Amino acid sequence: MVETLSIAVIGAPGVGKTSIIRQFIYNDFSEVYTPTRSRYVYRPSVILNGNMYELKILDVPPISSFPSSSSQEWLDLRCRGVRNANAYVLVYDICCVESFEYVKMIRQQIVEHREGSSSEVPILVVGNKRDLQRQRFMPRRAVSVLVKKTWKCGYVECSAKFNWHVILLFKELLGIAVARGMRQNHTSIRLQGALQRNRCTIM
């Protein structure tokens, strides 16, 4: 049986969420900014360490907050499926402090609004636009320590523009998600270094 993992990609407008997803799936990048107005679902299949996973990647349009209840999620089409995602990618722009503040708020709300042990869902914080790093607002190390030590989330920097670390971030997230889900089977050790570009296929 092929396991399906739903991943919600959330972040302030213009940080590069759609660019990251499209680079991952289609090896495609556009300089032209087309704001994402409604929720879009991508369904690639990936092979990680010999196992196939179907991903359901939700490109979430700008939302003012993480849905605090199932009814709120149901009423707002933009966040359908967001509460029950198996993992989160929270994207910010390394040159834009406000986009980091947004990620901070969403991370806090995920922890507060998801019930019970589901609040321990894997969260990967992604600093995009690494190619513009001369304009970054905070040193990489400082953000990384804050995110990993204080927030207990994963941290990766990438450039959707140059396809730098884009596969790595999905591999990192999938690694955490699969390791948590399969902890009893002790397979987590085998996950490192597994997802290769030519093994990522589109369904």
- Which positions lie near ligand GDP, rule CB under 6 A? 11, 13-19, 30-31, 33, 35-36, 128-129, 131-132, 159-161
Q: Which CB, 96 or 153, lies closer to ligand GDP? A: 96
Q: Which CB, 81 or 181, lies closer to ligand GDP? A: 81
Q: Which CB, 27 or 30, lies closer to ligand GDP? A: 30
- Nearest distance from C-beta of residue 175 to Mg ion, angstroms: 25
Task: Name which position in 18, 23, 99, 128 contacts Mg ion (CB under 5 A).
Answer: 18
36 touches Mg ion by CB under 5 A: yes
Write the DSSP assignment of 85-127 as a string of letters. -SEEEEEEETT-HHHHHHHHHHHHHHHHHS-GGGGG--EEEEE
Residue 183: CB atoms within 10 A of its CB come to 10
Q: Which CB, 32 or 203, lies closer to Mg ion? A: 32
Q: Which CB, 6 or 159, lies closer to ligand GDP? A: 159
- Nearest distance from C-beta of residue 139 to ligand GDP, angstroms: 19
| Among 9-17, 96-104, 121-129, 132-140, the segment contacting Mg ion (CB under 5 A) | 9-17
Contact partner, 165, from ligand GDP, Mg ion, none, Cβ < 5-8 Å per class: none
- Nearest distance from C-beta of residue 103 to Mg ion, angstroms: 15
- Nearest distance from C-beta of residue 34 to ligand GDP, angstroms: 6
Give CA–CA dist 158/165, Å, rounded.
5
Give CA–CA dist 21/163, Å, rounded.
11
Neighbouring residues of 144: CB distance < 8 A, sequence distance ≥ 6 = 155
Q: What does the binding site for Mg ion look like in residue numbers (CB under 5 A)? A: 17-18, 36
